[in-house]
Chain A
């Protein structure tokens, strides 16, 4: 028991932001100096965030850059609290019926090489991301399909004109993968230069990087926020093995890891280090799904798909699976913390979300018998990554065993995994996931629609009704209506048709050395990584 008491204490010492509470009672005065060492689980392919999609690029590179607007570092849990990074004052309200956004840009913001940033740099950046010249890569181009044009009437003003009004524009602007580049750099060095070079307006200047080992940054003296950053520099250390990442914090080779540890590792660290460890926890805007391949005859019968979801003990999994894997929260199609998402009372009537597990599994067996598939055997395709894919996959197989299904696990290397999902469709049921940065359920829930590019259930054109509900929801003007339609969509996608199964939403746990201050956990490992407000209490 003492272990848990100590652990509870550590949690209390941590911010408890996950529960929506306010932060530490009293803000301490930040101390200046010191170098923050943190662990990154993988190596970034390049330094160009516009082209990458991995957090391994965000963690070491984001501190070198600024965004136009960003998630408020003091309140990163909020999906709507954005603040100006290089713009002035409050984030502007749209005009022209929600179709025009006008930003005033801070004066005298400097790039690390001394160039002065103007509105034209912002325009060049967003033109590169939203309207790249032919042959230039921009991974998030599709995010900007509402954008009509971006212009700079003068050096201090940027105007975004949209094709249609939408609440999803600001979240897209706050995406951490859209740092501001210099127009001059883009013009002089071309569109690939940022892959290997860094020139930003962020709190830290690039010092050195050793491939496979670390990235070092030093304080940028001309940073555009007065008095910041507090740190003299940072060192992002690469370590591929979870064991090493935990040990590194235990042995104080690093102070923090920003992605997340499973609870077991948190407990071990707290047990070993007591008050030297502070734990921050949060719901996480990533969800693990299992996706039945609608192209396979055995998965075409909705009764079979319902049986699959009925067998899964989500509330129980939330208790025990959450001790070893980075998943925890029971949820529907939307991020559990968001106002648009279902409450527990709304979830329970859905198949597979009931509180009577025994009855649900009996029903599952009955459905299988009706469908004539009582002795169903199939293969679960999974991605060759331990956390949380393989652990959840193994857990799912155990769940399905409870209703008499014999399931084997086929683990594929990442490229084969994607290739099977996207192109060959050669699987019975696959583990699948959706992981986004800024919480934006209206856009994120497109995952469940057959026509979406990232829907791998092979169900294109099979459920027109679902498509229509989604379209209505997107265009619904007020939140109440959106919320109502999201419930309709949820019921159809997860219960009536059981097209896909939500297992559990991820749960982010960041145990770190207690001397790390000023960093607050966000609902995504992509967010709040500018590090300008972080300081060390040593």
Chain B
């Protein structure tokens, strides 16, 4: 097992390096940079000298290879540099937004798990019945409906109905407060995006639960248990569910990793100051240091999540290790 882990860890290095090369040069492919965005905002005349000063102060005048080296080296000395837009350390900018993104991911996961697992099981057990069709339809709709659109509809609905019913239009708060500081404020802000993203998430998880359950239900030992006359409920709970859980947990983990950095559109809709929004800002401002590091961090989380789930599989199923 140790050897296998080591092998997998080493295999991560070229992936991460490749991702770094890709994101670094992708961002710099088109000409122009943040200095023009910053200084020409009003359409006024700005001397080239001012733009050069700005470039120099941000290190954009250095050769790209040197900039790339700085970028990669930053991961070895734990210094990701400073944002070109705010001048604050990248790690500081991320730290500010981390709590919101984490909490939202946790809440969405809870929503998803509560909905997905029971639905997935019912659907599998009652395969090809009306219930199954309904659940599958619900799940596929969840994947089809854009979360950001659902978010828009939720806000619109809240404003319209609160005014119709209570006289005053109400919308969720637009400024984040920590759950430890003001739980009511916090939850009334985050529950709506949690529902909007949780629906899609639960749809993905419900489909996985269903197919994993179906697969397990076909296995010999479940058939044997049934043949031995065990009560259906016990068969499902004790034998089938336990074995079907691994792929479900995998998909939950991957989605969780995605939620941490990938909510680029939904966060816009709810005005959430999370990591996805930071990414969009970074892209819009052409803030190279911010964007490249943020993308890299998402990639790292993604790769590590993948690794952990693979290791879990390998641990449970020794055949994988030797293949």
Cβ–Cβ contact B31 & A212, under 8 A: no
Residue in B closest to A235 when the chains form the complex, CB atoms: B175
Tell me if B122 is interfacial: C-beta within 8 Å of chain A.
no
Contact residues in A for B87 (Cβ distance below 8 Å): 45-46, 195-196
Contact residues in B for A139 (Cβ distance below 8 Å): 39, 44, 46, 50
Contact residues in A for B280 (Cβ distance below 8 Å): 240
- Whether A196 touches B88, Cβ cut-off 8 Å, given contacts A212-B281, A415-B32, A434-B43, is yes
Cβ–Cβ contact A416 & B45, under 8 A: no
- Whether A247 touches B31, Cβ cut-off 8 Å, given contacts A211-B96, A422-B36, is no
Tell me if A465 is interfacial: C-beta within 8 Å of chain B.
no
Alpha-carbon distance between A432 and B85 when the two chains are bound, in angstroms: 24
Mask: chain A, 22-61; 1 = CB below 8 Å from B; 0 = not: 0000000000000000000001011000001110000000
- Whether A253 touches B173, Cβ cut-off 8 Å, given contacts A43-B86, A240-B277, A247-B159, is yes
Give the B interface residue count (CB, 8 A).
54
Cβ–Cβ contact B96 & A210, under 8 A: yes
- Whether A415 touches B34, Cβ cut-off 8 Å, given contacts A142-B47, A211-B96, is yes
Beta-carbon contacts under 8 Å, B16-75 to A? 30-34, 36-47, 50, 53-54, 56-57
Cβ–Cβ contact B273 & A53, under 8 A: no
Contact residues in B for A452 (Cβ distance below 8 Å): 45
Contact residues in A for B169 (Cβ distance below 8 Å): 250-252, 272-273
Contact residues in B for A447 (Cβ distance below 8 Å): 43
- Whether A239 touches B277, Cβ cut-off 8 Å, given contacts A196-B87, A415-B30, A436-B44, is no
Contact residues in A for B308 (Cβ distance below 8 Å): none
Cβ–Cβ contact A251 & B50, under 8 A: no
Tell me if B12 is interfacial: C-beta within 8 Å of chain A.
no
Tell me if A298 is interfacial: C-beta within 8 Å of chain B.
no
Beta-carbon contacts under 8 Å, A376-429 to B? 413-416, 418-419, 422-424
Contact residues in B for A165 (Cβ distance below 8 Å): none
Alpha-carbon distance between A424 and B32 when the two chains are bound, in angstroms: 10
Alpha-carbon distance between A453 and B45 when the two chains are bound, in angstroms: 5
Alpha-carbon distance between A43 and B285 when the two chains are bound, in angstroms: 10
Contact residues in B for A141 (Cβ distance below 8 Å): 47, 50
Contact of B40 among A53, A239, A273 (CB under 8 A): A53
Cβ–Cβ contact A135 & B47, under 8 A: no
Alpha-carbon distance between A447 and B42 when the two chains are bound, in angstroms: 12
Alpha-carbon distance between A34 and B156 when the two chains are bound, in angstroms: 29
Residue in B closest to A135 when the chains form the complex, CB atoms: B53
Beta-carbon contacts under 8 Å, B266-309 to A? 268-271, 273, 277-278, 280-281, 284-286
Contact of A415 among B36, B152, B270 (CB under 8 A): B36
Contact of A45 among B33, B38, B159, B268 (CB under 8 A): B38
- Whether A251 touches B43, Cβ cut-off 8 Å, given contacts A136-B53, A211-B86, is no
Contact residues in B for A211 (Cβ distance below 8 Å): 86, 88, 92-93, 96
Tell me if B163 is interfacial: C-beta within 8 Å of chain A.
yes
Tell me if A146 is interfacial: C-beta within 8 Å of chain B.
no
Cβ–Cβ contact A135 & B56, under 8 A: yes
Tell me if A369 is interfacial: C-beta within 8 Å of chain B.
no
Cβ–Cβ contact B88 & A418, under 8 A: no
Mask: chain A, 443-461; 1 = CB below 8 Å from B; 0 = not: 0001100001110000000
Cβ–Cβ contact A43 & B155, under 8 A: no
Tell me if A12 is interfacial: C-beta within 8 Å of chain B.
no
Alpha-carbon distance between A434 and B168 when the two chains are bound, in angstroms: 40
Tell me if B174 is interfacial: C-beta within 8 Å of chain A.
yes
Tell me if A198 is interfacial: C-beta within 8 Å of chain B.
no
Contact of B286 among A212, A415, A422, A433 (CB under 8 A): A415
Tell me if B170 is interfacial: C-beta within 8 Å of chain A.
yes
Cβ–Cβ contact B46 & A213, under 8 A: no
Contact residues in B for A253 (Cβ distance below 8 Å): 171, 173-175
Question: A512 to chain B: closest CB distance in Å?
Answer: 15
Cβ–Cβ contact A454 & B47, under 8 A: no
Alpha-carbon distance between A243 and B92 when the two chains are bound, in angstroms: 29
Tell me if A102 is interfacial: C-beta within 8 Å of chain B.
no
- Whether A54 touches B41, Cβ cut-off 8 Å, given contacts A196-B88, A250-B159, is yes
Tell me if A138 is interfacial: C-beta within 8 Å of chain B.
yes
Cβ–Cβ contact B33 & A415, under 8 A: yes
Cβ–Cβ contact B45 & A142, under 8 A: yes
Question: B274 to chain A: closest CB distance in Å?
Answer: 9
Alpha-carbon distance between A195 and B174 when the two chains are bound, in angstroms: 26
Contact of A43 among B85, B152, B171 (CB under 8 A): B85
Contact residues in A for B85 (Cβ distance below 8 Å): 43, 45
Residue in A closest to B93 when the chains form the complex, CB atoms: A211
Cβ–Cβ contact A239 & B96, under 8 A: no
Question: B177 to chain A: closest CB distance in Å?
Answer: 10
Mask: chain A, 224-256; 1 = CB below 8 Å from B; 0 = not: 000000000001011111011001101111100
Mask: chain B, 167-192; 1 = CB below 8 Å from A; 0 = not: 01111011110000000000000000
Looking at A45, A54, A273, the one whose CB has the most chain B CB atoms below 10 A away is A45
Cβ–Cβ contact A454 & B268, under 8 A: no
Cβ–Cβ contact A436 & B42, under 8 A: yes
Cβ–Cβ contact A454 & B44, under 8 A: yes
Contact of B268 among A52, A136, A240, A413 (CB under 8 A): A240
Contact residues in B for A436 (Cβ distance below 8 Å): 42, 44
Alpha-carbon distance between A211 and B281 when the two chains are bound, in angstroms: 11
Residue in B closest to A143 when the chains form the complex, CB atoms: B44
Contact residues in B for A214 (Cβ distance below 8 Å): 175
Alpha-carbon distance between A409 and B54 when the two chains are bound, in angstroms: 31
Alpha-carbon distance between A119 and B256 when the two chains are bound, in angstroms: 58
Residue in B closest to A195 when the chains form the complex, CB atoms: B87
Tell me if B226 is interfacial: C-beta within 8 Å of chain A.
no
Looking at B32, B92, B277, B280, the one whose CB has the most chain A CB atoms below 10 A away is B32
Tell me if B239 is interfacial: C-beta within 8 Å of chain A.
no
Tell me if B321 is interfacial: C-beta within 8 Å of chain A.
no
Tell me if A435 is interfacial: C-beta within 8 Å of chain B.
yes
Alpha-carbon distance between A435 and B42 when the two chains are bound, in angstroms: 5
Cβ–Cβ contact A248 & B174, under 8 A: yes
Question: B308 to chain A: closest CB distance in Å?
Answer: 30
Contact residues in B for A299 (Cβ distance below 8 Å): none
Contact residues in B for A109 (Cβ distance below 8 Å): none
Contact of B44 among A53, A212, A413 (CB under 8 A): A53
Tell me if A357 is interfacial: C-beta within 8 Å of chain B.
no
Contact residues in A for B174 (Cβ distance below 8 Å): 237, 239, 244, 248, 253-254
Tell me if A137 is interfacial: C-beta within 8 Å of chain B.
yes
- Whether A46 touches B45, Cβ cut-off 8 Å, given contacts A53-B39, A415-B36, is no
Residue in B closest to A140 when the chains form the complex, CB atoms: B44
Cβ–Cβ contact A213 & B50, under 8 A: no
Contact residues in B for A53 (Cβ distance below 8 Å): 38-42, 44, 46
Beta-carbon contacts under 8 Å, A249-272 to B? 250-254, 272
Question: A13 to chain B: closest CB distance in Å?
Answer: 20
Residue in A closest to B283 when the chains form the complex, CB atoms: A413
Alpha-carbon distance between A516 and B269 when the two chains are bound, in angstroms: 27
Query: Which 7 residue pairs are nearest across A and B when measured between Cβ atoms?
Result: A251-B171, A419-B32, A415-B32, A453-B45, A53-B41, A418-B36, A54-B41
Interface residues of B (CB under 8 A from A): 30-34, 36-47, 50, 53-54, 56-57, 85-88, 92-93, 96-97, 152, 155, 159, 163, 168-171, 173-176, 268-271, 273, 277-278, 280-281, 284-286
Q: List 25 A-B contacts (CB under 8 A).
A: A43-B281, A53-B44, A135-B53, A137-B53, A137-B57, A138-B50, A142-B47, A211-B96, A212-B273, A213-B273, A237-B175, A241-B268, A241-B271, A250-B159, A251-B159, A251-B171, A252-B169, A253-B174, A272-B169, A414-B36, A419-B30, A433-B43, A437-B42, A453-B45, A454-B46
Given A54-B41, A135-B56, A240-B280, 7 other A-B contacts at CB below 8 A? A140-B44, A238-B273, A244-B269, A247-B159, A250-B169, A254-B174, A414-B284
